[in-house]
Amino acid sequence: MTDVTPATTGLDGALADQPVRVVERDGVHFTLLGTAHVSPASVAAVEAAIGSGRFDAVAVELDGQRLAAMEDPQAMARMDLVEVIRKGRIPLFAANLALAAYQRRLAEQLEIEPGAELKRAVTAARQRQLPVQLIDREVGLTFRRASKRLGLWGKLQLVSGIAAGLLSKEEVGEAEIEKLKQGDMLEASFGEFSRQSPALYEAVIAERDRYMAARLREEIHLAGADGAAVPKNVLAVVGAGHLAGLARHLEEDQDDATSIRQALEAVPVKRNIPWFTLAVLAVIVSGIVYGFASGGMGMGAELLATWALLTGGLAGLGCLAARGHPLSILTALVAAPFKPFRLSIPTGAFASLVEARLRKPAYADFMALRDDTQHLAGWYRNRITRVLLVFLLTNVGSAAGLWLTIARFGSRLSG
């Protein structure tokens, strides 16, 4: 691996202040250009590099979804929110909203679209009819792999970070902007937590370094297998925070590139039994059974009614606080007491699914989404974010009802 400067590359002087690494691998000359996602100088550097004519392929730190979002800002308006809920992707959807809100704040403050240099790299490469390689991992995969590694406290911190990113209206501080220039957009959007959590850092930064190195190698092998001309000089445009790790993995990794990519795309499936949840529910069921056995039908029925009223009532109250549709509230009331029969499906999923069907988001809701997420009133006005509120507050109410039920059972049975 070799550090290079514009003087040794023969490229335009616009690269004078840009970090560049060069790696020779499998007969291919990889030039890794580290950029700042909020810098006009990085856009100029990308244009200069591609305009030099020295490269026969351009790789960028993007995946297909992020590129589509950049090229078609209205693509979100075609999203099926019902499918998002059915497939359990509400947390991921909220994370994407937080990232979009953070990028919007940066764009308004700095008057440059975050990631403009990546979009420009794709456009310039296409204008010169060069192959474009999208080498980053999908945000959804990164988020899911990160969340699987976090414990309960870590997930709560992550959720609070996402919420803060969605609701914050403050300008991004100068110190944070400077870190962003040397870091990564995903890392910055999760705030300070991403720098304090080894699990999140591993998934957001370190894993993606290795993933992008594997994708660069894989693209070369795929080109050769298809009988196409194998690129000999590839320009890779990546955030400056990835430059060192990407160069190291590109030079040192010996495992098959496709195997590496597949391993880093896999999301571990938790097969362990939810002992804590089962224990809590066992306490409640045991209390009801004991009530019938020791106090007869009267006490048993009372405990059952307490369980239904507290879990269902507070879930419904949470849905009401989110200003859910009356039928969404009714769904929360009915679904919450049946938690023992659906351990993995939260009550909020049922209520939000009904809300999305009865109050289907309109085109205007998608178009106003970025603005509406900047203040609480907008969350209630916009049908998309109101579905998220229904999901969240219904679950909060259901959980509160669960613990209050345990407290009530303890008091009643010991009295």
Number of domain units in the chain: 2
User: Is 255 a member of any domain?
Assistant: yes
Locate all alpha helices (DSSP H) within 322-362, ordered by sequence: 326-335, 347-358
Residues 141, 215: Cα–Cα separation, whole Å: 15
pLDDT tens, position by position, 221-267: 887 666 677 889 999 999 888 888 899 999 999 999 999 999 998 88
The pLDDT-based confidence of 338 (bands split at 50, 70, 90) is confident
Q: Do 252 and 281 lie in a common domain?
A: no
Contacts for 260-263: CB closer than 8 Å, 24+ residues apart: 260/210, 260/211, 260/214, 261/211, 261/214, 261/215, 261/218
- Do β-strands 20-25 and 2-3 pair in parallel, antiparallel, or remain unpaired? antiparallel
Residues 221, 224: Cα–Cα separation, whole Å: 5
Q: Do 249 and 349 lie in a common domain?
A: no
Q: Do 190 and 305 lie in a common domain?
A: no
Region of poorest pLDDT, from 6-15, 58-67, 277-286, 351-360: 6-15
Question: Per-residue pLDDT averaged across 383-408, rounded?
Answer: 89
Token pair of 366, please? 């998608």
Q: Do 20 and 116 lie in a common domain?
A: yes
Give the chain's end-to-end CA distance (angstroms, integer).
74
Q: What is the mean pLDDT of the chain?
A: 79
Element (H, E) at 28: strand 28-35
Other beta carbons within 10 Å of 200? 26
Question: Where a domain ends, among 221, 238, 265?
Answer: 265
Q: Do 254 and 298 lie in a common domain?
A: no
pLDDT of amino acid 154: 66
Q: Which domain holds residue 371?
A: 275-414
pLDDT of amino acid 2: 46
pLDDT at 139 over 50: yes
pLDDT at 7 over 50: no
